[in-house]
């Protein structure tokens, strides 16, 4: 019996790399952050974003990050030959992202010995509010999107004074402890239910601009506040399943973070070193 040839409609990976990505959990310890992007208090790594982009797109397709920060997803897209657009509310982070992308283009050109391969790739950072996605698509001529990857604020947890990472950052005047003071910044919303609704509304508003069957990866985790756990990842998944098909999850584990003795000798309080990479697909008919 003749073996049927492998036909890949989703990405450019061979069967071995495809199968490796299907593991439901993975360990990813990113390299140290560059000094010019360490100002951002919650950046996710380009190396992680690249793995997802390479799985959910083909070369030359279009990637969107509606909460781009300092441009991790756009850098990853540039490295693997995809067009990309990022929307960032904070003008300072948007400018850092533009500088990082310009340097990344130059580095790729030096590595390749020419600008061929990157000179025709779009990597545009748009300063704006993702809640106004329709206006931004129109004014910046964003083409239909093949894939979305993003990591939203984890509610207002950056403003929680008890967070160990925040205590350390407060000792340096050059490092941001939270994203901004902008009232449109979702990280400044104190009411949990309002946060979930406003975040979900942003992702729902993107739907008309996504191609049919386009995937969305949202990297998020459950949070602890006031001695209680708020199932942010699960609540967001349930809420967005009204608009998109929730297809699966991958759990990102971090094994390089030091343990802290929370509740030692008194109560169970875990060290939370994992995030949920929620996979949605645009299956619904518009």
CATH number at 215 reads 3.40.50.150
Q: Is residue 212 part of a domain?
A: yes
Q: Is residue 220 part of a domain?
A: yes
Question: Could you tell me if 133 and 65 are in contact, meaning their C-beta atoms sit under 8 angstroms apart?
Answer: no
> In the prediction, which pLDDT does 36 show?
53
Q: Alpha carbon 51 to chain centroid distance?
A: 12
> Which pLDDT tens digit goes with each residue over 57-68?
999 999 999 999
> In the prediction, which pLDDT does 40 show?
42
Full residue range of the structural domain in which residue 190 is found? 24-281
Question: Could you tell me if 136 and 87 are in contact, meaning their C-beta atoms sit under 8 angstroms apart?
Answer: yes
> In the prediction, which pLDDT does 169 show?
41
Query: How buried is residue 50: exposed, middle or buried, by Cβ count under 10 Å (0-12/13-18/19+)?
Result: buried
Q: Is residue 29 part of a domain?
A: yes
Q: Is residue 2 part of a domain?
A: no
Q: Is residue 3 part of a domain?
A: no
> In the prediction, which pLDDT does 177 show?
46
User: Would residue 87 be called left, alpha or beta, if left means φ above 0 and alpha means ψ between -120 and 50 degrees?
Assistant: beta
Identify the DSSP state of 87.
E
pTM of the complete model = 0.88
> In the prediction, which pLDDT does 283 show?
95
φ and ψ at residue 277, rounded to 5 degrees:
-100, 95
What is 50-79 written as a DSSP string?
Answer: HHHHHHH--TT-EEEESS-TTTHHHHHHHH
Total domain count for the chain? Answer: 1
> In the prediction, which pLDDT does 269 show?
87
Q: Is residue 73 part of a domain?
A: yes
Residue 172 CB-half CA count within 13 A: 13
* Cα torsion 106, 107, 113, 119: sign: negative
> In the prediction, which pLDDT does 226 show?
83
How do beta strands 274-281 and 245-253 pair?
Answer: antiparallel
Q: Where are the alpha helices (DSSP H) in the chain?
A: 15-21, 46-56, 72-79, 91-112, 133-140, 164-169, 192-205, 232-240
What distance in Å separates the CA atoms of residue 218 and residue 237, rounded to the nearest whole number? 9
Q: Is residue 11 part of a domain?
A: no
Residues of the chain with pLDDT under 50: 37-41, 169-170, 176-179
> In the prediction, which pLDDT does 39 show?
47
Q: Is residue 105 part of a domain?
A: yes
């Amino acid at each position: 019996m003749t073996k049927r040839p492998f036909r890949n409609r989703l990405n450019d990976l061979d069967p071995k790399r495809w199968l490796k990505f299907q593991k439901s959990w993975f360990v990813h310890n990113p390299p140290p952050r560059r000094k010019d992007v360490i100002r951002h208090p919650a950046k996710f790594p380009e190396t992680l974003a690249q793995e997802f982009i390479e799985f959910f797109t083909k070369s030359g397709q279009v990637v969107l990050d509606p909460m781009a920060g300092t441009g991790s997803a756009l850098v990853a897209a540039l490295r693997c030959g995809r067009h990309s657009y990022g929307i960032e509310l904070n003008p300072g982070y948007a400018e850092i992202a533009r500088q990082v992308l310009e340097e990344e283009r130059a580095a790729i050109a030096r590595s390749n010995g020419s600008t061929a391969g990157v000179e025709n790739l779009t990597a545009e950072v748009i300063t704006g509010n993702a809640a106004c996605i329709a206006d931004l698509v129109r004014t910046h001529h964003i083409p239909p999107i093949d894939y979305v990857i993003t990591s939203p604020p984890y509610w207002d947890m950056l403003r929680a004074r008890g967070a160990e990472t925040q205590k350390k950052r407060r000792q340096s005047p050059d490092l941001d402890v939270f994203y901004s003071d902008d009232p449109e910044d979702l990280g400044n919303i104190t009411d949990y239910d309002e946060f979930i609704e406003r975040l979900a509304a942003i992702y729902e508003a993107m739907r008309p601009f996504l191609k049919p069957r386009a995937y969305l990866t949202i990297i998020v985790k459950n949070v602890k506040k006031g001695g209680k756990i708020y199932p942010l990842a699960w609540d967001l998944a349930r809420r967005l399943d009204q608009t998109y098909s929730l297809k699966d999850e991958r759990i990102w584990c971090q094994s390089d973070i030091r343990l802290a003795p929370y509740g030692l000798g008194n109560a169970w309080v875990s060290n939370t070193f994992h995030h949920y990479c929620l996979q949605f697909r645009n299956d619904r008919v518009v």
